[in-house]
Structure 1
């Protein structure tokens, strides 16, 4: 898996930013290459939470928070 890196200044508390980014369902809001993201496991986002994501093009991916 290729790492994804980037940087942006966000005027919000770190905890709020982390919680937003950790929830993969939010990624289509800021990643133009992601069409959709759905949580596969029940409950709040945390270690072991799994998501599936639909990307532009012929691929989709499953993401797990570790």
Structure 2
């Protein structure tokens, strides 16, 4: 089911993703026994973004352009 999302749904997913923790910040210490489930959720959202030609690494800066640091490249 690798269907592309409607633009308004994709925008909502990008907003939600921008508030998710970064995978590198998820550990058993920070999330308890649920840490693997949290990592799975992050990966699932990343996959949908990629299917829709969205770079997950660029989402935060796009959604929070008023507070995101400028790109260095």
TM-score range, shorter chain: under 0.3
TM-score (normalised: structure 2): 0.24
The structure whose residues are more often helix, as a share, is: 2
TM-score (normalised: structure 1): 0.26
Give 1 or 2 for the bigger CA radius of gyration.
Answer: 2
Higher relative contact order (CA 8 A, sep 6+): 2
The structure whose residues are more often strand, as a share, is: 1
